[in-house]
Amino acid sequence: MEKCKHNDCLNCESVDVMKGLCLLDEQFVPFDGDGCPRFVRKPKCKFCRNYEAGEEADMGVCGGLGAPYWISGEMIAKTCESYVEKRDE
Ligand code: SF4
Ligand code: SF4
């Protein structure tokens, strides 16, 4: 299973390219730092069943909205009607 990073947590609000704000603790957290037990996965393309990772970091193909197209796996998917969360196997 992928490690739970602050940046992938629903409770993390982006501040800049390096850090976010944990809305529960009201403290800054480093994006790539390990999350805590309160981690809740944020909907992102990389967690969607319609996303297929490419060779380049954080880039992949979306196959859930018609013709497949390249997309960043870091894209926030809260408003995508085709988002289906990938289950960890
Ligand atoms: S709830 Fe935990 S994992 Fe989520 S942003 Fe706060 S410290 Fe990080
Ligand atoms: S279907 Fe939506 S959430 Fe899923 S990969 Fe495509 S754009 Fe992202």
Which residue is associated with the tokens 């309160």? 38
Question: Which strand (E) or helix (H) includes residue 13?
Answer: strand 12-14
Q: How confident is the model at residue 71 (pLDDT cuts 50, 70, 90)?
A: very high
Does the beta carbon of 15 sit less than 6 angstroms from any atom of ligand 2? no
According to the model, what pLDDT value does residue 8 have? 96
Cα 7 to ligand 1 centroid, rounded to whole Å: 8
Above pLDDT 90, what percent of the chain?
A: 91
Kindly provide the residue ranges of all beta strands, DSSP E only, lying in 24-64, ordered along the sequence. Answer: 27-30, 51-53, 59-62
Multiple choice CATH, 1-42, 2.20.70.100, 3.20.20.70, 3.40.50.720, 3.40.50.300:
2.20.70.100
> The tokens of 28 are what?
């800054």
> The tokens of 31 are what?
């994006």
Tell which atom from ligand 2 comes closest to the C-alpha of 43.
3
Q: CATH topology of 1-42 equal to that of 43-89?
A: yes
pTM for the full predicted model: 0.89
For the segment 22-54, what is each residue's pLDDT rounded down to a tens digit?
999 999 999 999 999 999 999 999 999 999 999
For domain 43-89, the question of CATH label 2.20.70.100 is answered with yes
Domain borders along the chain are: 1-42, 43-89
Does the beta carbon of 52 sit less than 6 angstroms from any atom of ligand 2? no
From residue 44, alpha-carbon distances to 11, 22, 41, 86 in Å are 14, 18, 9, 10
